[in-house]
């Protein structure tokens, strides 16, 4: 089917391009001392947020396809919703439905996983151990474990990645206790041997993304597969030791560890004949380990040995590259993205971000699709991210993104562009308030530079965000402040900067506006009618 757009009768857009600026992690929260967005010096954003065409959008829960309003949004589902123009059931919701219906356990993939366990090999689960519901959920893991017990899988090993990012910074012991209690109950039957075998903090072990630092994946491979890492007799002992050695450390930065028996031998290396499931449902931080298990020609680090295992993901993390080949739950099928429509209308566009969010303005924006939709019309620019903790350089690559964007705008080749400033999210995740303030101020300055160019070329800019983060850097109870590293449930800003604005349009009365309303708005500002299937535009023409 050929996707077609109809032109508006009363508005043709501006002579200059339309630029969408996504300030990742910059939400609109309560005004308190822990809100880095509020405390930052942001003259540009202050002016924008008081302009005529300004509103706030929902960026979490059902507004982005997640189960409930208690579920924080994230960059992946946010960019899916913006690029698709409507809401699709997303990761956690899909997995929950599959588990509740039992469909997940009826597939040939699941049968292959458990069959090896029934034949005296080991079933391994690797993933993020928390209830953050962004990459994984502990309840989903427990459902898989309980099903293994039900199907008489005798030996199971867990390789737990500790969160402290989508949940409180020092919450690992809570989740480990819940897990150990479950395993102890199963192990009370002598026919079962279910134990935690290795682990580490998510930002240090296994969960790298976008090829930013393969050494993180190597540390995970060494611990999970080879049994190489700092030795402990339990995961709880490992965490308590790390806490004792550095009272300021939080879970996401804990080093790798390996659980050993009384003879100091690792209890859960991954061997030939085993099966391995990565139980994260979100793709970005699961792709690289999946490649390490599946690729024959692998160049990123020395794997030492590659066990012959049956490997599966909770979902397929990249549908175009087929990573992994085997998966338990089908991802949402997202079609008719705004970029597909624009390419069919021969509208030239560009996308720019640094490594940490490059996949968001490309892969996730395009409905979980790798590569170009039409390389003759699109230009994608990735600016390499620094390989350091982001609070150490909170400006990140904001200025480089800005310079490249200005170059592309001034080239006169493009009608539409989209960029992502990762600062508010990536620095917000560190829990470092002062660094988060600097990150937001950097974005503010860069947005100001872009708006001057929009003035010059007589274009339009949309400034928004995909979810909050830096808007809530700590919580306080009984006078005790606890750093908050997770995304927030706060709304995000949406503002249209149009230097030639002459009351041709105004904000529409949209019920519960969210990120999915942005696509139709983009089409309107480019001079096209809203697509029938898309959620309503945020503007109406007068």
- What is the rounded distance in angstroms from the CA atom of residue 134 to the CA atom of residue 91? 8
- Cα distances (angstroms) measured from residue 64 to each of 81, 255, 467, 516: 6, 33, 10, 7
75 is known as an active-site residue: yes
Contacts of 102 (CB under 8 A, 6+ apart): none
Residue 93 · residue 80 · CB < 8 Å = no
| Bridge partner list, 515 | none
Lookup: tokens for 531: 């697509």
- Cα distances (angstroms) measured from residue 457 to each of 8, 348, 406, 490, 525: 22, 16, 11, 34, 15
- What is the rounded distance in angstroms from the CA atom of residue 524 to the CA atom of residue 9? 11
> In terms of Cα–Cα distance, which of 333, 359, 452 is closest to 24?
359
Lookup: tokens for 286: 């699961």
Residue of 15, 51, 68, 75 marked catalytic: 75
- DSSP 3-state assignment of 77? helix
- What is the rounded distance in angstroms from the CA atom of residue 102 to the CA atom of residue 329? 11
Residue with tokens 């300021």: 248
Residue 320 · residue 362 · CB < 8 Å = no
- What is the rounded distance in angstroms from the CA atom of residue 236 to the CA atom of residue 53? 52
324 upstream amide cis, omega within 30 of 0: yes
Residue with tokens 């309840």: 139
Contacts of 396 (CB under 8 A, 6+ apart): 354, 356, 385, 386, 390, 421, 422, 423, 426, 427, 439, 442
- What is the rounded distance in angstroms from the CA atom of residue 500 to the CA atom of residue 203? 45
Beta strand 257-259 pairing with 230-232: parallel
Q: 264: alpha, beta or left, given left = phi > 0 and alpha = psi -120 to 50?
A: left
Residue 418 · residue 365 · CB < 8 Å = yes
- Cα distances (angstroms) measured from residue 104 to each of 107, 111, 314, 525: 6, 10, 9, 43
- What is the rounded distance in angstroms from the CA atom of residue 260 to the CA atom of residue 250? 24
- What is the rounded distance in angstroms from the CA atom of residue 450 to the CA atom of residue 402? 7
Q: Catalytic residue positions?
A: 75
């Amino acid at each position: 089917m050929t996707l077609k757009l109809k032109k508006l009768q009363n508005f043709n857009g501006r002579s200059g391009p339309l630029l969408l600026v996504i300030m990742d992690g910059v939400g609109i929260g309560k005004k308190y001392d822990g809100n880095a967005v509020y405390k930052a010096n942001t003259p540009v954003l202050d002016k924008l947020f008081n302009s005529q065409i300004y509103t706030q959008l929902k960026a979490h829960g059902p507004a982005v396809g997640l189960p409930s309003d208690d579920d924080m949004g994230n960059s992946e589902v946010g960019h899916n919703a913006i690029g698709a123009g409507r809401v699709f059931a997303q990761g956690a919701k899909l997995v929950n439905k599959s588990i509740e219906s039992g469909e997940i356990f009826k597939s040939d993939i699941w049968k292959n996983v458990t069959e090896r366990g029934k034949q005296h090999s080991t079933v391994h689960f690797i993933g993020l151990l928390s209830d953050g519901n962004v990459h994984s959920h502990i309840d989903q893991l427990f459902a898989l474990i309980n099903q293994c017990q039900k199907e008489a899988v005798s030996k199971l090993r867990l390789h737990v990645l500790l969160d402290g990012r989508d949940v409180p910074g020092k919450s690992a012991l809570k989740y480990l206790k819940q897990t150990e209690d479950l395993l102890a109950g199963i192990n009370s039957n002598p026919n079962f041997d279910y134990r935690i075998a290795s682990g580490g903090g998510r930002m240090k072990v296994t969960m790298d993304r976008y090829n930013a630092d393969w050494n993180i994946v190597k540390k995970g491979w060494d611990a999970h597969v080879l049994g190489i890492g700092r030795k402990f007799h339990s995961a709880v002992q490992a965490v308590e030791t790390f806490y004792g050695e550095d009272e300021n450390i939080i879970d996401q930065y804990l080093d790798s560890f390996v659980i050993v028996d009384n003879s100091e031998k690792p209890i859960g290396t991954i061997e030939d004949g085993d099966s391995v499931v990565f139980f994260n449902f979100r793709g970005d931080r699961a792709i690289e380990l999946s490649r390490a298990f599946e690729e024959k020609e692998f160049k990123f680090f020395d794997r030492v040995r590659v066990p012959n295992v049956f490997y599966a993901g909770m979902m397929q993390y990249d549908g175009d590259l087929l990573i992994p080949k085997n998966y338990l739950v089908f991802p949402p099928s997202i079609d008719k993205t705004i970029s597909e429509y624009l390419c069919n209308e021969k509208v030239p566009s560009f996308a720019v971000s640094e490594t940490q969010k490059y996949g968001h303005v490309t892969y996730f924006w395009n409905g979980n699709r790798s590569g170009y939709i039409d390389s003759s019309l699109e230009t994608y620019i990735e600016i390499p991210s620094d390989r350091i903790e982001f609070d150490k350089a909170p400006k990140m690559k904001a200025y480089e993104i800005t310079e490249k964007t200005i170059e592309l705008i001034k080239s006169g080749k493009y009608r539409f562009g989209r960029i992502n400033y990762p600062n508010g999210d990536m620095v917000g995740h560190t829990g470092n308030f002062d660094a988060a303030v600097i990150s937001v101020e950097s974005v503010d300055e860069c947005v100001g530079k872009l708006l001057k160019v929009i003035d010059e070329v007589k274009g339009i800019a949309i400034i928004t965000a995909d979810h909050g983060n830096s808007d809530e850097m700590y919580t306080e109870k009984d006078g005790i402040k606890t750093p908050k590293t997770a995304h927030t449930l706060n709304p995000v800003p949406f503002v249209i900067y149009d230097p030639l604005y002459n009351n041709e349009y105004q904000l529409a009365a949209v019920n519960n506006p969210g990120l999915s309303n942005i696509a139709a708005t983009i089409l309107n500002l480019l001079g096209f009618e809203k697509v029938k299937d898309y959620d309503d535009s945020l503007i109406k023409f007068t």
